[in-house]
Amino acid sequence: MKPELLAPAGDLEKVRIACLYGADAVYIGGNTLSLRARSDVMEYAQIHEAVRIAHGYGKKLYLAVNIIMHEADLDGLDEQLVALAATGADAFICSDPYIIERALALTQTDIHLSTQMSVTNSIAVNEWQKRGVKRVVLARELTISEIKAIRQATTMELEVFIHGAMCSGYSGRCTLSNWMADRDANRGGCAHSCRWAYDLYQGQTKISDAFYLGATDLEASDYMDELEKIGVNSLKIEGRMKSVHYIASITSAYRQLLDDQDRVHLQPMVHQWLSRAKNRPTGVGFLGGRDHVEQIYAHTPLGKTAVFVGLVIDYDPLTRHALVEQRNHFRPGDIVEILSPKGIKGSIIIENIINSEGMPIDAARHPQETVSIPSNIVLEPYDMLRSVRDA
C-alpha cells in the first residue's frame, strides 16, 4: 500500500497549499502545547478552520501537542485537550507521557508518538502500542536497515521523516538554545543556535570561521522505493515555519515521485525540483548509515534555486491574462517558471504588468498587491510563479 505523504503547515493558507499540492495529511501546531509555540501556531477557531479545509479536500489533519511538560504547563491541560479534540483533528502528535495518558482518557483522538520520544527499537514501539498509541514517528537517527528490522517486529503504524531540517540534538532533544539564548527548545522556543556561524579556535589561534554545529538538511528522495517496500505508513516533511512556496515545491516533488511508476527516470528531475526550494545543503541523514560526512554542514553551491514572486488568483482564458498576488519583486522581461499542483507547467516571459487601476507599471514591488499579467499558458488559482536563479 502506498504510504501517506504528510506535509507541514503553519497557517491556513499553508494548509490549503499542502492539500492542493499533494499531501495526504497535514500537521499543524496549536497555540499552547506545540513545539512551535512562538510562531506559526493557530488558535482554536483557526484549528477548526484548518480541519474543515483539510477534510474538504479529503485529507487528514494532525495536531502537534508535543511540548515537553514543565510543572506550570499542567494547569488547564485537561481542558485544553478536550477543546483541541473538539476541533475534529484526526490525531494528536505527542511526546510527553502524561499528555498521552490524559488524551487517551479524555478524548477519542488518535495518538501519534512524536520523534521527540527518540524511539529507536521495536520493543519501545510495541510498548507504546500496548498503551494505546496508534502511530510512532521514529527517531531520525535510524538507518534503513534499522527501520526495516523495526517494521518486521511490529504491527504499529510507523512514520519516518524524509525531508527538512535535522537537529544536532538526538531527535530534537537539544538544550543548546536554552543555554545560549535562554529559549527552551523543547517548549517551543528554539533559537536554532546550532545554525549560527561560529569562529573555531585551537587555543588562541583561529583555525576556521563560519563553522556550524548544525547538520545538513535531509533529502531522502533516493530512498522512497525502499521505504515503501519496507512498509512505512507515513512519510513526513519537516517545516511548519517554512514558506508556502517551500511547502508547495517539496510536497509536489514527493507526490510525483510517489505516484510515478518509473521512479528511476523521474529521480534526476525530482532532485532538480527539490533544489528549487533549497536554502541549505542537503544529505540523506542517517538513512544510508552513520557516515559523518553526510551530516557536516558546509557552504556548498546550491545550484539553481527559485524565488516565489506571485500566486495566481484567477485566469481569463479569453484575454489570456492572469490575476496575480505579488509575493516578491518582479518586472517586465523576467522569466518565471510556473509551479502548479499538477507539476511544472513551463515558463513564461513577463511581457507587461497592469496594476489594479488598469495602469501599466514598471515592476510589481508592493507586498501582496494584485496585478494582471499575460500568459499563453493556461493558469489556475494557486499556481505559483517563481524566478529561477543561481543561489
**136 bridge partner residues:** 113, 158
282 or 383, which is more confident? 383
- Mark whether 199 and 241 lie in a shared domain: yes
- Give me the pLDDT at residue 35, please: 65
**219 bridge partner residues:** 163
369 or 38, which is more confident? 369
- Mark whether 212 and 96 lie in a shared domain: yes
The residue-averaged pLDDT of 262-277 equals: 87
Q: For position 368, which CATH number holds?
A: 2.40.30.10
Checking if the pLDDT of 161 tops 60, the result is yes
pTM: 0.92
- Mark whether 247 and 319 lie in a shared domain: no
- Mark whether 159 and 116 lie in a shared domain: yes
Of 294, 322, 341, the one marking the end of a domain is 294
The tally of domains found in the chain comes to 2
- Mark whether 282 and 328 lie in a shared domain: no
- In angstroms and rounded to an integer, the radius of gyration of the C-alpha atoms of the chain is 22
Please, what is the average pLDDT of the chain? 91
Query: Quick one: pLDDT band at residue 112, thresholds 50, 70, 90?
Result: very high
- Mark whether 273 and 153 lie in a shared domain: yes
- Mark whether 308 and 237 lie in a shared domain: no
Per-residue exposure over 273-297, b if at least 16 CB sit within 10 Å of its own CB, e if not? bbbbbbebbbbbbbbeeeeeebbeb
Query: Quick one: pLDDT band at residue 61, thresholds 50, 70, 90?
Result: very high
Checking if the pLDDT of 50 tops 90, the result is yes
- Mark whether 216 and 352 lie in a shared domain: no
Checking if the pLDDT of 23 tops 70, the result is yes
Checking if the pLDDT of 293 tops 70, the result is no
Question: 299 in a domain, yes or no?
Answer: no
- Mark whether 23 and 83 lie in a shared domain: yes
**213-261 confidence digits (pLDDT tens):** 878 889 999 999 999 999 999 999 998 889 999 999 999 999 999 998 8
Question: 320 in a domain, yes or no?
Answer: yes
- Give me the pLDDT at residue 292, please: 66
Query: Quick one: pLDDT band at residue 85, thresholds 50, 70, 90?
Result: very high
**Domain around 344:** 304-390
- Mark whether 324 and 266 lie in a shared domain: no
**135-155 confidence digits (pLDDT tens):** 999 999 999 999 999 999 999
- Mark whether 104 and 175 lie in a shared domain: yes
Question: 386 in a domain, yes or no?
Answer: yes
Q: For position 37, which CATH number holds?
A: 3.20.20.70
- Sort 3 into a burial class: Cβ within 10 Å, 0-12 / 13-18 / 19+: buried
Q: Where are the alpha helices (DSSP H) in the chain?
A: 12-20, 44-56, 77-85, 97-106, 122-130, 144-152, 176-181, 224-230, 244-259, 263-275
Question: 213 in a domain, yes or no?
Answer: yes
Alpha-carbon distance 272 to 260, whole Å? 16
